Amino acid sequence: MPQQPPPFAGLRVLEAACRLKSYSQTGEELGVTHSAVSQTIRRLELTYGLKLFRRQGMRMMPTDPAIALSKAYAEAARIMDRAAADVSADASDDSLVVAMLPSVAKLWFTPRLHRLQDALPELAVEVRTARELADLETDGVDIAMRFGRGDWPGLHVEPLFDEIAFPVASPDFIARHGPVNDQRLAELPLILEEPQLWPTWFAATRLTPPSPLRGLAFDDAAMVVEAAAAGLGVALVRRIHAEGYLDAGRLVRVSPNGIKTPLSCYLVWRPDSPRIATIRRFSDWLVRECDRSGLLEAA
């Protein structure tokens, strides 16, 4: 006798009830009545021969079997969502969703979009920016440009470059404060960014940092670069953020000494992505752009 297929509609109700621990709230979320939820749970209990919920005060607490079934349903739903996304990807192989930090997108990637269009005119790119890491399993992102230590299990990880930070200032700032060199930096206005790298830079150059370390502080690399270009102080920047300003003469590197930051840049994607060929074409172009920018060279 063939085995009955799992009652997915009922398991959807079960999963919501396990999360919410309330039949009323489950009904509100799913657009059904409290009675419909209760009847569905009762049918599941009869199907599996198990007690799935116990009343505890005003809450319906799931039993261990209910929690196990809920997790299994959630995993099955995730697999189906991913399969649906992959089917859509097969139907539109010339599109790509790319994730990166907002500062990288604004300061480095966007100015290169015209070259991307010239190199891959058939490719439609959607750029998503966020400080949080994109979940390549669930949110539709095909490839991400990440900064970290390369430890992302389950993903294909390709190193791009190490991050090097070095001091910069605007020509106006230099004109107002006179020649800027390593020995003078401790007495000049500094621009700070979290995580703070200035102490590491002073230690690497065997100079004494100002104590306490004071200056305009920002939590966004784009704002740091803008503040330095506005002549508000000396900033410790990464080349990927400052390249456009350096090329335009709005910023000047004021020291030959740079430091390697704790994080490196990587490209990551799902090894089982249905868009591997498109991802490869895009990643090859991105590597060429990094090389063109001098990011692949040592400081």
Return the CATH number at 121: 3.40.190.10
pLDDT band of residue 14 (cuts 50, 70, 90) is very high
Q: Which of 33, 60, 89 is the last residue of a domain?
A: 89
pLDDT score for 138: 81
- On whether both 44 and 180 belong to a single domain, the answer is no
- On whether both 148 and 24 belong to a single domain, the answer is no
Beta bridge pairs of residue 166: 237
- On whether both 78 and 103 belong to a single domain, the answer is no
CATH number of the domain enclosing 60: 1.10.10.10
pLDDT score for 91: 44
- On whether both 180 and 248 belong to a single domain, the answer is yes
CB 133 within 8 A of CB 146: yes
pLDDT at 94 over 90: no
- On whether both 209 and 257 belong to a single domain, the answer is yes
For residue 14, what are the domain limits? 8-89
Task: Evaluate whether residue 297 is within a structural domain.
Answer: no
- Count of the separate structural domains present in the chain: 3
C-alpha dihedral over 128, 131, 132, 136, to 10 degrees?
30
Residue identified by tokens 């102490």 is: 199
pLDDT score for 195: 75
Task: Evaluate whether residue 140 is within a structural domain.
Answer: yes
pLDDT score for 9: 86
Ramachandran sector of residue 122 (left: φ over 0; alpha: ψ -120 to 50; beta: rest): alpha
Q: Find the mean pLDDT for residues 29-33.
A: 90
- On whether both 245 and 275 belong to a single domain, the answer is no
- On whether both 112 and 188 belong to a single domain, the answer is no
Task: For 166, list phi and psi in degrees, rounded to 5.
Answer: -150, 155
CB 104 within 8 A of CB 111: no
pLDDT at 85 over 90: no
pLDDT at 89 over 90: no
- Six-digit token string for 4: 């009955």
- Contact partners, residue 240, CB within 8 Å, separation at least 6: 104, 107, 108, 163, 265, 293, 295
Task: Evaluate whether residue 293 is within a structural domain.
Answer: no
- On whether both 40 and 181 belong to a single domain, the answer is no
pLDDT band of residue 137 (cuts 50, 70, 90) is confident
pLDDT score for 27: 92
- On whether both 116 and 192 belong to a single domain, the answer is no
CA atoms within 13 A on the CB side of 3: 4
Measured from the Cβ of residue 284, the count of other Cβ atoms closer than 10 Å reads 12
Task: Evaluate whether residue 2 is within a structural domain.
Answer: no
pLDDT in tens, 124-134: 999 999 888 88
Q: Find the mean pLDDT for residues 116-123.
A: 94
pLDDT score for 172: 96
Q: How far apart are the first and last CA of the chain?
A: 70
Task: Evaluate whether residue 3 is within a structural domain.
Answer: no
pLDDT band of residue 248 (cuts 50, 70, 90) is very high
Task: Evaluate whether residue 80 is within a structural domain.
Answer: yes
Task: Evaluate whether residue 120 is within a structural domain.
Answer: yes
Which pTM was predicted?
0.67
Lowest mean pLDDT among 113-117, 140-144, 277-281, 292-296: 292-296
pLDDT score for 243: 92
pLDDT score for 271: 93
CA atoms within 13 A on the CB side of 27: 13
pLDDT in tens, 175-231: 999 889 999 999 999 999 877 899 999 999 999 999 888 889 998 999 999 999 999
pLDDT score for 93: 65
Task: Evaluate whether residue 292 is within a structural domain.
Answer: no
DSSP assignment string, the chain: -PPPPP-HHHHHHHHHHHHH--HHHHHHHHT--HHHHHHHHHHHHHHHTS--EEEETTEEEEPHHHHHHHHHHHHHHHHHHHHHHHHHHHHTTTEEEEEE-HHHIIIIIGGGHHHHHHH-TT-EEEEEE-SSPP-TTTS---EEEEEE-S--TTSEEEEEEEEEEEEEE-HHHHHHH----GGGGGGS-EEEESSP-HHHHHHHTT-PPPSS--EEEES-HHHHHHHHHTTS-EEEEEHHHHHHHHHHTS-EE--S--EEEEEEEEEEE-TT-TTHHHHHHHHHHHHHHHHHTTTTS--
- On whether both 132 and 274 belong to a single domain, the answer is yes
pLDDT score for 258: 94
Residue identified by tokens 């005119």 is: 121
- On whether both 275 and 257 belong to a single domain, the answer is no
pLDDT score for 81: 72
What's the distance, CA 24 to chain centroid? 36
- On whether both 167 and 254 belong to a single domain, the answer is yes
pLDDT score for 139: 82
- How confident is the prediction for the chain on average, in pLDDT? 90
